[in-house]
Amino acid sequence: MVATKLKEYIDFSNDKDVDVDVTITIKEGNRSVDSIKKREKVTRFFLTIILYILVTFLALMMIFPFYWMIITSLKNNSEIISANQTFFPTIVMWSNYVYVFQHFNFVTYMTNTIVVAIFSTIGTLITTIFGAFAFARLNFKGREALFLVFLMTMMIPGEMMVISNYITVAAFGWIGENATLLDAYLSMIVPFWVSVFYIYLLRQNFKQIPNELYLAAKVDGKSDWSFLWKVMVPLAAPTLISITILKFMGTWNSYVWPNLVANRDEFRLISNGLRGSSFVDVESGRVEYGYQTAATVLVTVPLFLLFVLFRKYIMRGVGRAGIKG
Amino acid sequence: MENTTISKNYDLSLSRDQVFDGMKEGYLSKYDESKDVIVHFVSRKKAKEKFKVGGVLDNEQSNNWKAWLYLAPVLILMAIFLIYPLINTIVISFMSNYNYVTGDFDGFTLNNFGAILGLSDINGYRDNRLIDYGFVNTFLITFVTVPLSLVIALLISVLLNSLKWLKKVYQVVFFLPYVTNTIAIGMVFSVLFDKQGIINYIFGSDITWIYGADRWTAMVPLCIYIVWSSLPFKILILLSGLQGVDKQYYQAAKIDSTPKWRVLLRITVPALSPQILYLMVTSFIGAFKEYSSIVALFNGPGTSTGSYNMYTIVYYIYDNLTSNTSLAAAAAVILFIIILIFTFLQLWLSKKRVHY
């Protein structure tokens, strides 16, 4: 439109006309395009700032509990319950941590949790790799039907199983009066060796590995077994790492089942130890929040370290659940 | 060259030697120039499995037993810890006074369901805790936290998606609450909501939220905690969904200068409908099973010693697991039925609304 209008006034083929300066102002309403553009730019700038302020505020709300946890763990009790709340401790009380280390069996709980986490992860990885391999690569009658049944079991609430599993584990002699630490470990590890969700996750990953690789391996005379371990497992390593970390985090967080089966203090996992410990001051009868939050910091920090180290794998593993769900 | 046909009655214009070579390789094929296809020849007899696929030696039958061998660990463990318990729990729910140590029971009855639903007596006593607290609290928690957390997560993820800089950083910050211990942070929330805590301080209120609180008041910190801890997962899923939405829709809306809220409702939400459905189904199931957050906040089934006013269905199940196994089993069966109904209801309702 602009070009045709120009042509009416200036003839570019004529050398004399080329030197003429032309200014075109297009107006909308009473404002020129330049001023509208400028205005839009300013609005966008302010909108961006407001957006960032809003998002930052929301982000602070999200992490405020963590900040408050750390702050409270460093306060003394009178400051915690005082009428004037402080956003930074006036006296930094490292002694809360000393107390917790002395009175809270942190090392025992942590050892138990790590042992249970390691062995349940190993078991889960083995069953998951085998199961996913069978569903993704091998052909057998009723494969799709069986997989559908597997997926449907994910809908069953765990509470349905917990009751009978408790009875089963008791029948195995893993819980009860004479149960040893090993029994308690077994009762917390073995029932969680199968995860349908992880089988599903890994199957999806295995399926992406091209058929040609399998056929090429077959031509080279490789067995299914060596193909699984030499080709498929290394190629699916990121998913396997995700599963390992998520399983580890799951054990660190598990509360319900260990609470049922670990009937002695020295068998407890970290969550049970934390909730089961009393932080009540003997003299005042009040809960000592300083000790309590110091303990929660100790429970939370290892998880954060894990997150810092494996953020990519955790977020990818969790995120994949939704994309193909 | 792409097309491959398997033919019985094809013109076999091959020399004897060619046929013989093909047989040595295991199958017989020829490139037909006139039709630009590869033709695999199969004998008139019923084709063997391995010839059917058209050149690929995929011996399905011989894999059969091997596949079951690979599946054996999974199947055995699932049989012991999933299938058997499922059936056993249903059976126990119909047993009268089941004793889990000895395995004794006094015949089969429907009374367990009647007792926990407040319809009939069992052993001369009626358990009203589930009717008065369990169901009410569970449904309240579910119908408050699930929609609330979904809406908040949707708004936050739309905001995050429109960021130009620091998107990754904010994404990580909003994911942080996922990496926490439910019990530990729940205990921190009980400090935040303490009578002398920071929440009352900021809002200048003097409300008892946690210990000794009124039942409905105590629901506030509980629901806030549940929403807070369920946001990261939802934001992560919705954000990854948002990144997959075709930009053309937004450009078209921009040209038509559609208002932002309309873009959100008419483009973003429909485009995210698969993710929203997935989150709905999973978070409904999760909310029906709320338990740990209550333990974390209140350190027991109620807001004061001996009180049961924060009971949920799952809390009831765990509380009665050893003392009243039959009743716990009946409650578990009821929970299962509720979850099944809700899941199928959502899948059925979503058939028309979800665009894949």
Provide the ipTM. 0.84
CATH superfamily, domain at A104-323 = MetI-like (1.10.3720.10)
**B170 and B305 part of one domain:** yes
Residue with tokens 């006034």: A9
* Residue of chain B whose alpha carbon sits nearest to that of A171: B101
**B96 and B12 part of one domain:** no
What mean pLDDT is predicted for residues B2-24? 50
- Written as one string, the DSSP assignment of B254-269 is HHTT--HHHHIIIIIH
- Cβ–Cβ of B196/A82 closer than 8 Å? yes
**B223 and B304 part of one domain:** yes
Helix or strand (DSSP H, E) at B6: strand B4-7
**B136 and B276 part of one domain:** yes
Q: Which tens digit of pLDDT belongs to each residue from B89-115? A: 999 999 888 888 888 888 888 888 888
**B82 and B166 part of one domain:** no
**B201 and B273 part of one domain:** yes
What mean pLDDT is predicted for residues A3-18? 57
What is the residue type of A286? R
**B46 and B99 part of one domain:** no
What's the pLDDT at B129?
A: 84
Q: pTM of this prediction?
A: 0.82
Task: Give the rounded distance of the alpha carbon of A45 from its chain centre.
Answer: 34
In sequence order, what are the residues at sequence separation of 6 or more whose Cβ sits closer than 8 angstroms to the Cβ of residue A134?
A: A140, A143, B67, B68, B70, B71
Bin B107: left if φ > 0, else alpha if -120 < ψ < 50, else beta: left
Residue B79 belongs to domain spanning = 61-116
Residue A83: pLDDT band (50, 70, 90) is confident
Residue B302: pLDDT band (50, 70, 90) is confident
Q: Does residue B185 form part of some domain?
A: yes
Mean pLDDT of chain B: 82
What's the pLDDT at A57?
A: 94
Q: Which tens digit of pLDDT belongs to each residue from A131-153? A: 999 999 888 888 889 999 998 88
Residue A15: pLDDT band (50, 70, 90) is low
How many interchain CB pairs under 8 A, A with B?
259
User: Are residues A257 and B292 in contact, defined by beta-carbon separation less than 8 angstroms?
Assistant: no
% of chain A at pLDDT higher than 90:
27
**Residue A2 or A111, more confident:** A111
What's the pLDDT at A51?
A: 92
User: First vs last Cα of chain A: how many Å apart?
Assistant: 51
Q: Which of A159, A199, A275 sits opposite B289 (nearest CB)?
A: A159
Q: Where are the domains positioned within chain A?
A: 104-323
Cα(B228)–Cα(B107) distance, integer angstroms: 46
Q: Output the domain CATH number for residue B225.
A: 1.10.3720.10
In sequence order, what are the residues at sequence separation of 6 or more whose Cβ sits closer than 8 angstroms to the Cβ of residue A45?
A: none
Closest among B282, B350, B279 to A157, alpha carbons compared = B282
What's the pLDDT at B179?
A: 86
Residue with tokens 């046909």: B5
Q: Which tens digit of pLDDT belongs to each residue from B60-83? A: 455 678 888 999 999 999 999 999
What's the pLDDT at B229?
A: 92
- Cβ–Cβ of A68/B187 closer than 8 Å? no
Total residue length of chain B: 356
**B158 and B288 part of one domain:** yes
Q: Which tens digit of pLDDT belongs to each residue from B124-135? A: 777 788 888 889
What's the pLDDT at B56?
A: 43
What's the pLDDT at B54?
A: 44
What mean pLDDT is predicted for residues B210-222? 89
Q: Which tens digit of pLDDT belongs to each residue from B286-297? A: 899 999 999 999
What's the pLDDT at A325?
A: 34
**B141 and B185 part of one domain:** yes
* Residue of chain B whose alpha carbon sits nearest to that of A129: B70
Give the count of domains, chain B.
3
What mean pLDDT is predicted for residues B137-141? 94
The CB density around residue B126, as the number of other CB atoms within 10 Å, is 16
What mean pLDDT is predicted for residues A217-238? 88
Q: Does residue B352 form part of some domain?
A: no
- Which of A2-11, A26-35, A218-227 is predicted with the least confidence, judged by mean pLDDT? A2-11
Residue B1: pLDDT band (50, 70, 90) is very low
Q: Which tens digit of pLDDT belongs to each residue from A89-118? A: 877 878 888 888 888 888 889 899 999 999
pLDDT higher than threshold 90 for residue B309? no
**B177 and B226 part of one domain:** yes
What's the pLDDT at B8?
A: 46
What mean pLDDT is predicted for residues A49-61? 93
Q: Pull the structure tokens for residue B276.
A: 């929203």
Domain finish residue from B76, B92, B116: B116
pLDDT higher than threshold 90 for residue B150? yes
Q: Does residue B350 form part of some domain?
A: no
Q: Does residue B324 form part of some domain?
A: no
Residue B124 has, within 13 A of its CA and on its CB side, a CA count of 0
- Cβ–Cβ of A275/B183 closer than 8 Å? yes
pLDDT higher than threshold 80 for residue B198? yes
Q: Does residue B329 form part of some domain?
A: no
**B218 and B160 part of one domain:** yes
- Cβ–Cβ of B236/A318 closer than 8 Å? yes
What mean pLDDT is predicted for residues A59-76? 91
Q: Does residue B168 form part of some domain?
A: yes
**Three-state secondary structure call for residue A257:** helix
**B102 and B233 part of one domain:** no
Cα(A99)–Cα(A288) distance, integer angstroms: 11
What's the pLDDT at B30?
A: 63
Q: Which residues of B touch A62 (CB under 8 A)?
A: 173-174, 176-177, 228, 231
- Cβ–Cβ of A299/B278 closer than 8 Å? no
